Structure 1
Amino acid sequence: MRVEVQIVNALTDGGTGGNPAGVVIDADDLTASQKLHVAQRAALSETAFVSKSSVATIKLEFFTPTRQIPHCGHATIATFSLLRKLGRVSDGRSSKETIDGCRDIEIDGSTILMEQRSPTYRAIEAGSQLAAKVGQSIGVSTEQIYSTASPTVVNTGNSFLLIALPDERSVAAIRPDQRSIESISDDLDLIGYYVFSTTTKVPGRHAGARMFAPRFGIAEESATGTAAGPLACFLYERMDVGDTEIAIEQGHLMQPPSPSVIQVVLDVDSSRISRLMAGGAGVLMRSITVDI
């Protein structure tokens, strides 16, 4: 059997850069092991598989080259961008079924936004052994990782450790120890680290970030919608950013750079975030064929 994988760059910045994801449509007859094989051959951080759903517009399953994961932000944006291009979905509200429930999708032309849940927060205690390990895992002093805000695990459906640094230079200069990050991610049940500052390349945006997820085989990723959502919540509720529409840059500091921008819209009820929509645009780049 031959499986066609569409490569879509998601969360592009002005039509360029972004994060490539594989998308396989009409994947109903593929087994889990076959999907993993396709993801391994596609050799991207995530590949999405589209099947029929009786409870949502589509069923989506996500595989890294090493395992299945519950959600993937940029692969969701890539999938609905492709389906919009193919005429399989239209502007307005759609939805996706995943292995842990359904989420709303909003489509407006080239912009795709996906639902995330209200945030939960768990700060890392200053002076703890864990705080020291977190600093060491990115080559930064404990004092510096607390200089702007406390490192905090934030979950809007997936957990990320958010680490604020003073400026872009500090974020660019970190030295990630992938084994240490993976070990801490295992202990805290994280997708990975999201290291950021409020310095941005484009004026008017709110933060620039880098994402590391070695636990899932990702040394560094250029765009992460499921991490940008937690960061937007953290900026609003813990760092006094007053805007409810947040723009987050990622990928500028990678080597080679792959600039991306993630838009986040916060729903606020009585000064608390009740849910959020995160996403951006996707561009179809090419297709590959995998034999299984």
Structure 2
Amino acid sequence: MKVKVYTLNAFGKSNNGGNPAGVVLNANTLSTEVMQRIAKEVGFSETAFVQKSDVADFKVRFFTPSEEIDLCGHATIACFYVLANKSISNPGKYKQETKAGVLDLEVKIDGTILMNQALPEFLDIIDQKEIAASLNISEDKIASDLPIQIVSTGLKDILIPIKNLDTLLTMTPDFDKIAEISKKYNVIGYHAFTLETKFDSTAHCRNFAPLYAIPEESATGTSNGALSCYLFKYGKVTAKNKNNLIFEQGYSINQPSEIRASLSTNDKNIIEIKVGGNASALKEKMLEV
């Protein structure tokens, strides 16, 4: 059986930037095993499979090369870009069924796609020593005014505040240790960040998920959604700038990316999170499965 796979880049800041994803439309007849094989063959950090849904406009399943995950931000952007490009959907608001729940999203006329994420869960705070060792940095390179904390807006990540941009860009993580710690805390991986940025953005980030066969990812929508909520909780995002958050990512692996986010709040409570961006470089190929 031959399956058509669309490939494209989500969140690109430049022509060679962004995070590549695979998209398979009309995946209703594909078994979990076949979808996993396709994702491994495509080889990107995530591939999205679009199916019919009884509770939303579309059901989307997400696979890394090694296993299925509940949600993926950049693959969602890629998925709805393909649906719009192939005239399956038009600009407007949609609901997607995922393993992280039924989530709202919007396709703008200019091609920007904004996806809602689940409300934040603020979970364990983790000791600096354990994390510093796995990043091959000293503890004093980690910011002291923010906690290392597990946060989820659909997927759990360990958010790690780094003092400065130079440390973030030059550190050489121990991926085996990161995989062990990720397994220990039942998280996808690390989302390390600093508030010192290249382009006056909200934060500069690096994301590591070796437990899921992703050493470093160039653009992660879900992680930056979680980071948006974390920064609001700890006073680094204010009412003035909460609607225009910009995250830089991928520069350490020569895939410059830009992820945008906005928060709706009621006093100190977050009531809505949106993460979005654009996609480009759409191509298609046939796989034998």
Q: Give the TM-score normalised by structure 1.
A: 0.94
For 2:125 and 2:137, the matched residues in 1 are separated by 15
Residue 244 of structure 1 corresponds to which residue in structure 2?
242
Deviations 1:166-206 (A, max 9, x none): 21101012121111111111111111101111122223x11
Q: 1:183-262 to 2 correspondence within 5 Å?
A: 183-203=180-200, 205-242=201-238, 243-245=241-243, 246-254=245-253, 257-262=254-259
**Equivalent pair of 1:115/1:276 in contact (CA under 8 Å):** yes
CA distance, structure 1, for counterparts of residue 87 and residue 116 of structure 2: 22
Matched-pair contact (CA < 8 Å) for 1:123–1:150: no
2:131 is aligned with 1:134: yes
Paired amino acid for 1:28: N
1:60 match: 60
Tell me how far 1:148 sits from its aligned partner: 4.3
Equivalent positions of 1:155-166 (< 5 A) are 155-166=152-163
**Whole-angstrom distance in 2 between the partners of 1:278 and 1:182:** 26
Residue type at the aligned position of 1:241: V
Please name the residue that 2:91 is paired with: 91
Alpha-carbon distance in structure 1 between the residues aligned to 2:118 and 2:139 = 30
Establish whether residue 107 from structure 1 lines up as the match of residue 96 from structure 2. no
Query: Paired residues, what number?
Result: 285
Consecutive unaligned residues in structure 1, runs of 5 or more: none
1:41-80 matches, within 5 Å, as 41-80=41-80
Q: Distance in 2 between matches of 1:271 and 1:92?
A: 30
Q: Distance in 2 between matches of 1:148 and 1:261?
A: 26
The aligned residue for residue 277 of structure 2 is 280
Aligned partner letter, 1:20: P
**Identical positions, percent:** 36
For 2:20 and 2:100, the matched residues in 1 are separated by 24
Deviations 1:107-132 (A, max 9, x none): 1121111111221223535xxxx431
Encode CA deviations 1:2-48: one digit per residue, 9 max, x unaligned: 01110010111256510000000011111111111111111111110
Indicate how the Cα distance of structure 1 residues 43 and 200 shifts in structure 2: closer, same or farther if over 3 A, else same. Answer: same
Instruction: Say if 1:222 and 1:260, in contact at 8 Å, map to a contact too.
Output: yes
Structure 1 pair 284–53 and aligned structure 2 pair: CA distance change class (3 A): farther
Structure 2 counterpart of 1:21? 21
SS in 2 for 1:220: strand
* Moved >3 Å (runs of 4+): none
Contact 1:121 1:152 in 2 (8 A): yes
Q: What CA distance in whole angstroms lies between the structure 2 residues aligned with 1:282 and 1:21?
A: 10
CA–CA distance in structure 2, aligned partners of residues 107 and 45 of structure 1: 23
User: What is the match of residue 37 of structure 2?
Assistant: 37
- Preserved CA contact (<8 Å) 1:248 1:261: yes
Give the RMSD, CA atoms, in angstroms.
Answer: 1.4
Once residues 157 and 142 of structure 2 are traced to their aligned partners in structure 1, the CA distance between those partners, rounded to angstroms, is 15
d(CA) in 1 for partners of 2:72, 2:168: 24
In the aligned structure 2, how far is the partner of 1:275 from the partner of 1:26? 30
C-alpha distance in structure 2 between counterparts of 1:193 and 1:263, whole Å: 19
Tell me: CA distance 1:14–1:272, structure 2 relative to 1, closer, same or farther (3 Å): farther
Three-state SS of the structure 2 residue aligned to 1:26 is coil
Counterpart Cα distance in 2 of 1:198 and 1:270: 24
Q: How far 1:207 sits from its partner (Å)?
A: 0.6
What is the rounded CA distance, in whole Å, between the counterparts of 1:60 and 1:66 in structure 2? 17
- Verify: 1:172 aligned to 2:173, yes or no: no
Q: TM-score, normalised by structure 2?
A: 0.94
Deviation at 1:143, TM superposition (A): 3.0
Task: For 1:244, give the aligned amino acid.
Answer: K
Measure the CA separation in 1 of the matches of 2:128 and 2:53.
43
The residue identity in structure 1 corresponding to 2:119 is S
